[in-house]
């Protein structure tokens, strides 16, 4: 994930207004992705400028595009972009398969309610959100996230965050995402934090009930 810092930064290119409500959101079809690759790479570089860590600044746009190419091949892949006169943000991901393969590498027992939601094809994984530096960048990221999940009628959002990316973790938690533990991926040397966002009152209730069971291991 690439997030803006909380303090104001330079406005996005082609956008003289700081009003996030003026930004247009739209879904991008898979076959249109090729025309956007250069703009997406530029957006990735701009969004990473807000990262204080050398680790984030050293990640290349080529690596980002390679990961994106892998995600695009996933069944149900979807992307929402934010535009003014140019591209200022994007969010993308795919539905979690009902076989539960997305959760492989989870450290410990996966909460039963999440297993049930996965089996019913009700979980959508957001694999990346990018926002160009902007005073209201976090609000725009929230709009992108909401549009992506609502369009897919998901009951649960899921995402993985690098534990060193404290700004992203703070923002997700402020939006109601819940940290449920760690997951290991064979292609990465470190574990990611697993965050989920329940959508709808019943889903919220089901996940809140888990907090009362010792085996669930919800972080405090």
Q: What is the CATH number of the domain that holds 188?
A: 3.40.630.30
124 backbone dihedrals φ, ψ, rounded to 5°: -120, 130
Indicate whether 57 belongs to any domain.
Answer: yes
* pLDDT at res. 138: 81
Q: Does residue 100 fall inside a structural domain?
A: yes
Does some domain include residue 12? Answer: no
Residue 134 has pLDDT above 70, yes or no: yes
Residue 220 lies in a domain: no
pLDDT in tens, 74-120: 999 999 999 988 899 999 999 999 999 999 999 999 988 999 999 99
Residue 2 lies in a domain: no
**pTM: predicted TM-score of the whole model, two decimal places:** 0.80
**pLDDT average, residue stretch 42-56:** 68
Q: How many folded domains does the chain comprise?
A: 1
Which residues lie closer than 8 Å to 108 by C-beta, 6 or more apart?
181, 217
What's the confidence (pLDDT) of residue 139?
87
Contacts 24+ apart (CB under 8 A), 134-138: 134/4, 134/9, 134/11, 134/12, 134/15, 134/18, 134/20, 134/88, 135/8, 135/9, 135/11, 135/18, 136/18, 136/19, 136/20, 137/3, 137/4, 137/9, 137/89, 138/3, 138/4, 138/6, 138/171
Determine, yes or no, domain membership for 115. Answer: yes
Which domain range does residue 144 map to? 24-215
In a domain, 187, yes or no: yes
**Residue 139: beta bridge partners?**
none
Q: Is residue 140 part of a domain?
A: yes
């Amino acid at each position: 994930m690439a997030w803006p810092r909380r303090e104001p930064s330079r406005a996005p290119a082609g956008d003289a207004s700081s009003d996030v409500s003026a930004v247009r959101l739209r879904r991008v079809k898979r076959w249109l992705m090729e025309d956007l690759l250069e703009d997406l790479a530029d957006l990735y570089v701009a969004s990473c400028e807000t990262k204080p860590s050398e680790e984030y600044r050293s990640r290349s746009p080529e690596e980002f595009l390679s990961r994106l190419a892998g995600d695009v091949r996933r069944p149900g892949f979807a992307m929402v972009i934010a535009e003014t006169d140019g591209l200022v943000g994007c969010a993308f991901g795919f539905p979690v398969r009902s076989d539960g393969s997305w959760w492989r590498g989870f450290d410990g027992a996966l909460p039963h309610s999440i297993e049930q939601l996965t089996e019913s094809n009700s979980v959508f994984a957001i694999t990346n959100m990018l926002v160009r530096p902007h005073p209201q960048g976090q609000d725009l990221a929230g709009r992108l996230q909401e549009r992506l999940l609502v369009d897919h009628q998901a009951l649960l959002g899921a995402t993985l965050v690098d534990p060193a990316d404290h700004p992203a973790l703070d923002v997700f938690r402020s939006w109601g995402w819940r940290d449920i533990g760690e997951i290991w991926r064979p292609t990465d040397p470190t574990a990611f934090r697993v965050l989920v966002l329940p959508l709808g009152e019943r889903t919220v209730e089901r996940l809140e009930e888990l907090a009362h069971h010792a085996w669930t291991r919800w972080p405090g």
